[in-house]
């Protein structure tokens, strides 16, 4: 059974939905939420359940913006979600948790969210191998949180950044491409730097930031990019802290 949750406060975008389920969730329980792509027909039950739960959250997030919408969030050829015309969004899932965020494309260029379970030893091991740069390790050493917690935060932050940037640059980025410059534990925010060569003019210093939250054994991160053409009409502060479901 899928249970709506209070959404983490990591975005100003108000169209955000997250849910959890018990460890017995299976394909039958989530069938009907979305069509399963052919490439996932032979996936493990866990992977299938996570995919469908993520799509369920995406539909709920879209319907908070468009109440009469009754379509499905498909999959592009590169595996990314295919959002309805005029919307941008992001999906995440980890160990019994899924979430989706959606925003109007006329106001926002892109959005990226990620969640990681603090107890996921496999993710932690992978993060230690591929995420950390030497300057980021020095940053982590200065923070008042355990090393493992910092590493998962850094991993999740970079995942959110990549999810946000990928629809704009249309190519994969290495973990070392994005540099985490600072993490403010008190404000639950982080700043980052992306080489200008990735996409000239894509980010300003005010854009290159995100938010995070530790909650119920998970770390959640989010990054949004406001369309600079709309900057004079939309205030980030006026958007509120994500509409909460459940």
Q: Which tokens sit at 128?
A: 């230690």
Flag the least confident range among 46-55, 169-178, 202-211.
202-211
CA 149 to chain centre: 18
Residue that the structure tokens 């919307």 belong to? 87
- Are residues 16 and 240 in contact, defined by beta-carbon separation less than 8 angstroms? no
172 — alpha (psi -120 to 50), left (phi > 0) or beta? beta
What pLDDT is recorded for position 28?
A: 58
What pLDDT is recorded for position 218?
A: 93
- Are residues 224 and 189 in contact, defined by beta-carbon separation less than 8 angstroms? no
Instruction: Name all domains of the chain by residue range, CATH numbers in brackets.
Output: 2-112 (3.90.470), 118-217 (no CATH)
Flag the least confident range among 12-16, 98-102, 113-117, 177-181.
12-16
pLDDT at 234 over 60: no
pLDDT tier at 243 (50, 70, 90 boundaries)?
very low
The pTM for the full model equals: 0.86
What pLDDT is recorded for position 35?
A: 75
CA separation, residue 160 to residues 29, 49, 240 (Å): 28, 22, 20
CA–CA separation, 115 and 161 (whole Å): 12
What pLDDT is recorded for position 204?
A: 62
Q: What angle do CA 125, 126, 130 make, to 5 degrees?
A: 125
| DSSP H or E stretch at residue 128 | helix 121-130
Average pLDDT over residues 180-185: 95
């Amino acid at each position: 059974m899928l249970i709506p949750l209070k959404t983490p406060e990591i975005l100003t975008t108000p169209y955000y939905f997250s849910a959890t389920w018990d460890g017995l969730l299976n394909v039958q329980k989530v069938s009907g939420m979305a069509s399963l792509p052919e490439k996932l027909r032979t996936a493990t039950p866990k992977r299938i359940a996570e995919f469908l739960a993520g799509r369920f959250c995406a539909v709920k997030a879209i319907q908070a913006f468009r109440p009469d919408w009754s379509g499905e969030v498909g999959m592009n050829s590169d595996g990314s979600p295919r959002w309805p015309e005029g919307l941008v969004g992001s999906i995440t899932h980890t160990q019994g948790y899924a979430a989706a965020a959606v925003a109007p494309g006329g106001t926002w260029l892109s959005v990226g969210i990620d969640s990681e379970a603090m107890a996921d030893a496999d993710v932690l091991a992978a993060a230690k191998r591929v995420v950390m740069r030497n300057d980021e390790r020095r940053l982590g050493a200065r923070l008042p949180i355990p090393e493992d917690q910092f590493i998962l935060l850094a991993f999740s932050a970079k995942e959110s950044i990549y999810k946000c940037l990928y629809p704009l640059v249309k190519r994969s980025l290495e973990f070392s491409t994005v540099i985490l410059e600072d993490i403010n534990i008190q404000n639950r925010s982080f700043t980052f730097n992306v080489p200008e060569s990735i996409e000239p003019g894509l980010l300003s210093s005010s854009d290159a930031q995100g938010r995070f939250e530790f909650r119920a054994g998970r770390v959640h991160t989010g990054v949004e990019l406001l369309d600079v053409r709309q900057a004079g009409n939309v205030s980030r502060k006026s958007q509120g802290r994500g509409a909460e479901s459940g």
